[in-house]
């Protein structure tokens, strides 16, 4: 079985824009992200992004826009992310079990890649990132959005690099 770090995208990997992040020229990777991803890979973790992308169902952007951002992210970070799972849905438009705080994206990754949940982590910036991981038995690290905390996370970090260092120390 493989150990994995599940990553929320907006607010953890890239700057979360108020009106959605879907244009490559506005996709700003947060400082320290490439180094954090590299550190996690050096410690043997798979990296899987788990992200809600409700702007798709709302008609603000399309799948191609999102994939272009992911391609750009991969290029800028050395293609270290193993897989992207995303939910294009929003509860006001269509119900879906894949949308966080649902667990379906996690379940798909765990089954597909034979992931050991006991040795895996979720890093996110909102409570809805923590809840499905906790339901699955995955340890969680919150990178608080604007200093907002939640009781749902196991640990807190100031950013992805801080979280990656913490995980690396725990895995040694």
Query: What's the pLDDT tens digit per position in 145-165?
Result: 776 666 779 999 999 999 999
Give 63-88 pLDDT, tens digit per residue.
999 999 999 999 999 999 999 999 88
Active site residue 62: no
CATH number at 4-171: 3.40.50.1000
- The CA–CA distances, whole Å, from 101 to 25, 27, 32 equal 29, 24, 27
The reported pTM is 0.94
Mean pLDDT (the chain) is 92
Neighbours of 39 (CB within 10 A): 18
Pick 57 or 148 by higher pLDDT.
57
27, HSE (Cβ side, Cα atoms, 13 Å):
19
The mean-pLDDT minimum among 35-39, 144-148, 166-170 falls in: 144-148
| Averaged pLDDT, 2-23 | 94
Distance of CA 52 to the CA centre of its chain: 9
Active site residue 8: yes
pLDDT at position 150: 67
At 92 the pLDDT is 61
Crossing angle of the two packed helices 33-42 and 160-171, in degrees rounded to 10: 10
pLDDT value at residue 98: 72
- What is the band of 19 on the pLDDT scale with cuts at 50, 70, 90? confident
What's the average model confidence in pLDDT over 41-70? 93
Percent of the chain residues past pLDDT 70, beyond the cut: 91
């Amino acid at each position: 079985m493989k150990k994995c770090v599940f990553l929320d995208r907006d607010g953890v990997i890239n700057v979360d824009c108020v009106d959605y992040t879907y244009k490559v020229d506005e996709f700003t990777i947060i400082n320290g992200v490439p180094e954090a991803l590299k550190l996690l890979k050096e410690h043997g973790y798979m990296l899987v992004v788990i992200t809600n992308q409700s702007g798709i169902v709302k008609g603000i952007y399309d799948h191609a826009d999102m994939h272009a951002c992911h391609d750009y992210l991969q290029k800028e970070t050395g293609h270290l992310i193993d897989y992207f799972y995303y939910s294009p849905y929003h509860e006001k438009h269509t119900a879906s079990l894949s949308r966080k705080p649902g667990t379906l994206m996690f379940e798909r990754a765990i089954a597909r890649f034979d992931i050991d949940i006991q040795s895996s982590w979720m890093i996110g910036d909102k409570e809805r990132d923590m809840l499905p991981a906790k339901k699955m038995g995955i340890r969680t690290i919150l990178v608080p959005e604007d200093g907002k905390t939640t009781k749902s996370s196991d640990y807190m970090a100031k950013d992805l690099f801080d979280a990656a260092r913490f995980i690396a120390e725990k895995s040694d």
